[in-house]
């Protein structure tokens, strides 16, 4: 694999960095919301 981006590293790395951060953030946010909703519903069903 070739990681030498010269002379365009200043454009390529931020493009990859921002994409990775955004997609990882989106995945984590969706997963956390799912876990919270599942836990909340379980707690409510137990209280029934």
Partner 1 sequence: MNWLFRYANPHEFMRLSGAVLPFTAVATVLCLVLALYLGFTAPPDYQQGRTVLILFIHVPAATSAMMVYGAIAVCSLLSLVWRHPLSDTAARAAAPLGVIFTVLGLVTGSLWGRPMWGTYWAWDPRLTSFLLLLFLYFGYMALWNAIEDETKAARAAAVLALVGAVNIPIIKFSVNWWNTLHQGESIVTGDLAPVFLAPLLLMMAGYVLLFVTLWMVRIRTAILERRATVLMQRGAQ
- How far is C-alpha 31 from the chain's CA centre? 9
Rule CB under 8 A: say whether 48 interacts with partner 1. Answer: yes
Rule CB under 8 A: say whether 46 interacts with partner 1. Answer: no
Per the CB < 8 A criterion, the answer to whether 47 and 39 are in contact is: no
Q: DSSP character for 6?
A: T
Rule CB under 8 A: say whether 24 interacts with partner 1. Answer: no
* 3-class SS of residue 1: coil
Interacting residues toward partner 1 by CB under 8 A: 1-8, 11-12, 14-16, 18-19, 22-23, 26-27, 30-31, 33-34, 37-38, 40-41, 44-45, 47-48
């Amino acid at each position: 694999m070739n990681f030498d981006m010269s002379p365009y590293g200043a454009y390529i790395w931020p493009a990859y960095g921002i994409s990775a951060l955004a997609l990882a953030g989106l995945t984590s946010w969706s997963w956390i919301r799912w876990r919270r909703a599942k836990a909340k519903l379980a707690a409510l069903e137990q209280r029934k």
